[in-house]
Amino acid sequence: MFKNVIVKTPCKAVTQGITSAPELGQPDYSLALKQHAAYIEALKQCGVSVTVLPADESFPDSCFVEDVAVITPKCAIVTNPGAATRNQETKAIVPVLKQFFPEDKIEYITAPGTLEGGDVMMVGTHFYVGRSARTNEEGIKQFIAILEKHGLTGSEVPLTEVLHLKTGVNYIENNNMLVAGEFITKAEFAQYNKIVIPQSESYAANCIWVNGTVIVPCGYPTVEKAVKDAGYPVILVDTSEFRKIDGGLSCLSLRF
């Protein structure tokens, strides 16, 4: 169960966030703020305490706070984002993590290693790590060594088609995994009960499990039905403005 969630308010510069889909247009800032507020309300409905960090205009993508740290049951790991414009976002998360963890439970990925939290999927005490354009071999090596130091395990999952691992695969507990695109047939996930997402709704592979409820993005009826059919209560949250800059539900929070 999660007790805490950290989110970061979108800054005005969110309109300039990195995107692989410029055809969707720039995010509407005021709508992004409203959607972010609704996201916080959905999280609160799931019984977590939400820490809301202030917007930081220096970093357009900084609302995607998941990428700057990975929080495990045993320790917090400050990442080293592979995106140049995001790399220094980690500085602001360190003092926040110190409010929750003693210094000996805060670890760091360092150069030449790179790693972004969107590439890390927790399944119990095991962590799958996507080797992506943002997360490199050295970052994964450091990350797995940190996990093992704390009695946890990790393994690499290569990916080629999407930004982050969790862009296309998300674990929603009870052995259930939402899979889209290149992750549908990966041997690494053969042991799970796969909920296969059609290409037309692949964005909605990025749902989050929070204390028994699954938060699903608005506008993806096949995924909404599949998650309900799997037995979960669902809360819908509109993330249209974050989708325009390759962001989804998991990217917007750290849950622990």
Which residues 49-88 are close enough to bind ligand GLY by CB under 6 A? Answer: 61, 64, 67, 83, 86
C-alpha span between 228 and 10 (Å, rounded) = 30
* Cβ-contact 6, 51 below 8 angstroms: yes
Residue placing its CB nearer to ligand GLY in the complex, 156 or 246 = 246
Say how far apart CA 104 and CA 241 lie, in whole Å. Answer: 38
Question: In this structure, are strands 208-210 and 213-217 parallel, antiparallel, or unpaired?
Answer: antiparallel
Q: Smallest distance, Å, CB 192 to ligand GLY?
A: 26
Instruction: Report if residue 247 touches ligand GLY, rule: CB under 6 A.
Output: yes
Amino acid at 136: N
Q: Which stretch binds ligand GLY (CB under 6 A): 46-54, 145-153, 226-234, 241-249?
A: 241-249
Question: Is position 128 an interface residue for ligand GLY (rule: CB under 6 A)?
Answer: no
Q: Are 179 and 193 in contact (CB under 8 A)?
A: no
- How does strand 169-171 pair with strand 176-179? antiparallel
Sorted by sequence, the CB contacts under 8 Å of residue 118 that are 6+ apart come out as 64, 66, 67, 130, 134, 163, 164, 165, 166, 167, 250, 251
The minimum distance between CB 242 and ligand GLY, in angstroms, equals 8
**Distance separating alpha carbons of residues 219 and 232, to the nearest angstrom:** 18
Residue showing the smallest CB distance to ligand GLY in the complex:
18
To the nearest whole angstrom, how small is the minimum distance from the Cβ of residue 84 to ligand GLY?
11
Pick between residue 166 and residue 255 the one whose CB is nearest to ligand GLY: 166
**Cβ contacts of 180 within 8 Å, gap of 6 or more:** 168, 169, 196, 197, 198, 199, 201, 202, 205
Q: Does 93 bind ligand GLY (CB under 6 A)?
A: no
Segment interacting with ligand GLY (CB under 6 A) among 124-132, 171-179, 219-227, 244-252: 244-252
DSSP state of 218: T
Binding span for ligand GLY by CB under 6 A among 72-80, 139-147, 203-211, 242-250: 242-250
- Min dist CB 68 to ligand GLY, Å, is 10
When asked if residue 18 is in the footprint of ligand GLY (CB under 6 A), the reply is yes
Q: Which residues bind ligand GLY (CB under 6 A)?
A: 17-18, 61, 64, 67, 83, 86, 245-247
Tell me which residues are annotated as active site. 164, 251
